[in-house]
Structure 1
Amino acid sequence: MAAVLQHLPSPPVARLRLAPHRALPRRIDGAWWPRSRNLLVELPLLIGALPPVWGQITGVTVNAAMWSPSPGRILVAHHVVRLRRESGTRDRHTISLFSLGHSRWHLLVVPPELAAADAEHLMAATATITR
Structure 2
Amino acid sequence: MTVTFDRENTPRTPAAPLRLSLTPDDATAGRLDGAWWPRSYDLLAELPSLAKELDGRWGRVTRVTLNPAHWPVIPPRIPVAGHVVHAGWFQQEQDIDEIMVRSYAPLRLDLLVIPPHTDEAAAAELMAAAADPANTRTAGDLLAAGPPEHIVRGRD
Q: TM-score range by the shorter chain?
A: 0.7 to 0.9
Please list the CA deviations of residues 24-71 of structure 1 after superposition, one character each: whole Å capped at 9, or x if unmatched: 454311111000000000000111222634200000001111212131
The residue type equivalent to 2:81 in the other structure is: A
TM-superposed deviation, 1:92:
1.3
In the superposition, the TM-score normalised over structure 1's length comes to 0.84
> Which consecutive residues of structure 1, in runs of 5 or more, have no partner in the other structure?
1-7
Quickly say closer, same or farther: Cα 1:90–1:59, change in 2 above 3 A.
closer
Match for residue 31 of structure 1 among 30, 35, 39? 35
- Identical counterparts, % of pairs: 43
The one-letter amino acid paired with 1:123 is M
Which structure has greater strand proportion? 1
**Residue 69 (structure 2) aligned to one of 24, 48, 65:** 65
- Residue pairs, 1:37-56, within 5 angstroms: 37-50=41-54, 52-56=56-60
- My pick for the range that moved more, 17-26 or 116-125, is 17-26
Equivalent in 108, 133, 136 of residue 104 of structure 1 = 108
List, as ranges, runs of 4+ consecutive aligned residues in structure 1 with deviation greater than 3 Å. 22-26
CA displacement, residues 90-123 of structure 1 (integer Å, 9 cap, x when unaligned): 4111111111132111111111121111111111
The count of aligned residue pairs is 124
* Unaligned ranges ≥5, structure 2: 1-11, 136-156
Give the alignment's Cα RMSD to 1 decimal: 1.9
1:14 matched to 2:23? The reply is no
